[in-house]
Chains A and B, each alone.
Chain A
Amino acid sequence: MNPLWLATRATGEISLVLFTVVTIMGIATTKGWASSRWPESVVTLLHRNISLLSVVFLGVHIGTTVIDGYVPIGWLDVVIPFQTTYKTLWVGLGTIAFDLMLAVIITSLVRRRIPQTLWKGVHWTSYLMWAVAVVHGLGVGTDQLLTRVLAAAMTALVLGAVVARFLTPHRQDDPVVSVTTRTEIRR
């Protein structure tokens, strides 16, 4: 077995798990889900740092795929989708997910210098990125059983978090309640 090929598969699965964790932590950050064990600052910084860690694994995943050379996937295919002869659609979806990730990372790095709405808009595509990446993994089809089990578990986690996100009232929504509370407290 070619070690590069094994590395591609392993880092693909690891990336799936890490991106899921990052996505859920991102949702937790926006909603301020925190406790004394998981304070706000811990969730925020873990979201940031684990996303950088997952980029490393994704870098290895992509790097070993191209270097391996068993299937013809070149460096341009890393950023330009649907140009490969090998599993054009499924590999191309991986490329799209990578492009979206680049956009999310770059806008986050220059967040202080760009309009916040732009940063937020691009950051929303993380959901799409995550979903496209999962489909890429399922479609490419190596390690069917592991990928399917992981994808099912990770999808359940993210869907659960998304549902909880939309069930949690927006931070901006409570001022009406808080104003009354504030007045009562002042009295």
Chain B
Amino acid sequence: MSGHIVTVDRIACDGFGTCAQLLPERIILDEWGYPIIDPTPVKGSEHQHAKRAVNACPRLALKLVKAPHDAPARPVAQRR
């Protein structure tokens, strides 16, 4: 399924880091342990993994939501 992005509720997140362990292809941790998430839509084969990471979040802070129309199609860094 496409058209979904992974987001984090930054207030709920306590930096457990579970998401980065389960979805390393999309999520890395900043130096304080909080997630930096690839803003591009989740590709088909990644969907299952993304869902698993969302379900494993101990704070229910990680979410898989419908991508807004202005979501970047490619990673921001590569667009420049």
Interface string of B1-24 (1 = CB under 8 A from A): 000000000000011111001100
Of listed B15, B18, B60, residue having the most chain A CB within 10 A: B18
Give the nearest-CB partner of B31 in chain A.
A185
Which residues of A32-55 are within 8 A (CB) of B? Answer: 32, 39-41, 44-45
Contact of A39 with B21 in the complex, beta carbons under 8 Å: yes
User: What is the interface of chain B mostly: helix, strand, loop, or mixed?
Assistant: loop
Contact between chains at B58 and A45 (CB < 8 Å): no
Distance between Cα atoms of A185 and B32 in the complex (Å): 11
Known contacts A44-B56, A111-B60, A112-B60; A178 and B32 CB within 8 A of each other:
yes
Number of interface residues of B (CB under 8 A): 12
Within 8 A of A (CB), among B30-74: 31-32, 56, 58, 60
By size class, the interface of chain A is 10 to 19
**Closest residue of chain B to A182, judged by CB?**
B32
Task: Point out the residues of chain B lying under 8 angstroms from A39, CB to CB.
Answer: 21
> Known interface pairs A40-B18, A182-B32. Does A29 touch B56 (Cβ–Cβ under 8 Å)?
no
Chain B residues within 8 Å of A, Cβ to Cβ: 14-18, 21-22, 31-32, 56, 58, 60
Contacts A41-B21, A41-B56, A44-B18 aside, 12 further interface pairs with beta carbons under 8 A come to A39-B21, A40-B17, A40-B18, A40-B21, A41-B18, A41-B22, A44-B56, A116-B60, A171-B14, A171-B15, A172-B14, A182-B32
- Chain A interface (Cβ < 8 Å from any Cβ of B): 29, 32, 39-41, 44-45, 111-112, 116, 171-172, 178, 182, 185
